[in-house]
């Protein structure tokens, strides 16, 4: 009985010591799941493009160039023209990319790139980092510019031959850019909140 209690105390002490010790990889439990990302993968994810386009890489693309890339890499989940997803009924709303203009003030708002997103540069950054969902980070900068241009064109925002690059993309005025209001919470920095003008 006493022995068991001593053992229990030793056990707790060991646990406390383990928690208090600085976490090192060797002490963390391993679940034999996943793997450490490669430096290249981290580089592909670690890109955030602000509204002014800072960090956009060299390269360019037009909607005409983006059409075939979209058909091959995006249409299976987002529908041929961005509005009729077939792949997952539960994800339908989140995968609509085109249309919805004028619905935000209604009972059934449809949030899309065209109706909701305030900055075209965010679209480039998001596609570059997260799409296609099944193979993120696999598009070249030129391909990302081209599918971005294609989605902007499908939404009636730019022409099919307009060249999107690090200079022209930040200049694209998204339809809902004025639709955001500043977040008044004191812990939100001004730079984080989209500004209404
Ligand atoms: C395997 C299916 C799949 C493929 C292929 C795919 N997507 Fe997606 N995409 C999704 C899903 C699911 C979401 C919703 C993700 C979420 O809400 O977290 C999404 C979201 C998006 C969004 C954000 C929509 C919004 O308004 O929030 C954009 C933009 C987008 N995808 C672009 C693309 C582009 C461009 C391609 C091709 C290069 C692509 N996707 C390929 C499944 C896919």
Cα–Cα distances in angstroms (integers) from residue 10 to residues 6, 16, 69, 81, 111, in the given order: 6, 10, 61, 64, 57
pLDDT in tens, 154-165: 999 999 999 999
CA of 78 to the centre of ligand 1 (A): 7
Structural domain boundaries in the chain: 42-192
Nearest protein CA to atom 14 of ligand 1, as residue: 94
Which residue has its alpha carbon closest to ligand 1 atom 22? Answer: 95
pLDDT digits over 34-77, tens only?
899 899 878 877 889 999 999 999 999 999 999 999 999 999 88
- Specify the CATH number of the domain 42-192: 1.10.760.10
CA atoms 81, 152, 177, 190: torsion sign: positive
CB of 136 sitting under 6 A from ligand 1: no
Distance CA 24, CA 143 (A): 40
């Amino acid at each position: 009985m006493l022995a068991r209690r001593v053992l229990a105390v030793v056990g707790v002490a060991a646990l406390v010591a383990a928690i208090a010790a600085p976490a090192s990889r060797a002490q963390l439990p391993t679940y034999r799941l996943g793997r450490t990302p490669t430096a290249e993968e981290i580089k592909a994810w670690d890109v955030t493009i602000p509204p002014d386009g800072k960090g956009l890489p060299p390269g360019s693309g037009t909607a005409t160039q983006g059409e075939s890339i979209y058909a091959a890499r995006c249409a299976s989940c987002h529908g041929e023209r961005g509005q009729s997803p077939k792949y997952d009924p539960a994800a339908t709303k989140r995968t609509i990319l085109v249309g919805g203009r004028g619905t935000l003030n209604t009972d059934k708002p449809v949030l899309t790139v065209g109706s909701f997103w305030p900055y075209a540069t965010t679209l480039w950054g998001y596609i570059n980092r997260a799409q296609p969902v099944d193979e993120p980070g696999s598009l070249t900068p030129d391909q990302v510019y081209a599918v971005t241009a294609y989605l902007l064109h499908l939404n009636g925002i730019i022409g099919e031959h307009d060249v999107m690059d690090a200079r022209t993309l930040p200049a694209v005025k998204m339809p809902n850019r004025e639709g955001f209001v500043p977040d008044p919470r004191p812990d939100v920095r001004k730079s984080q909140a989209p500004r209404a003008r």
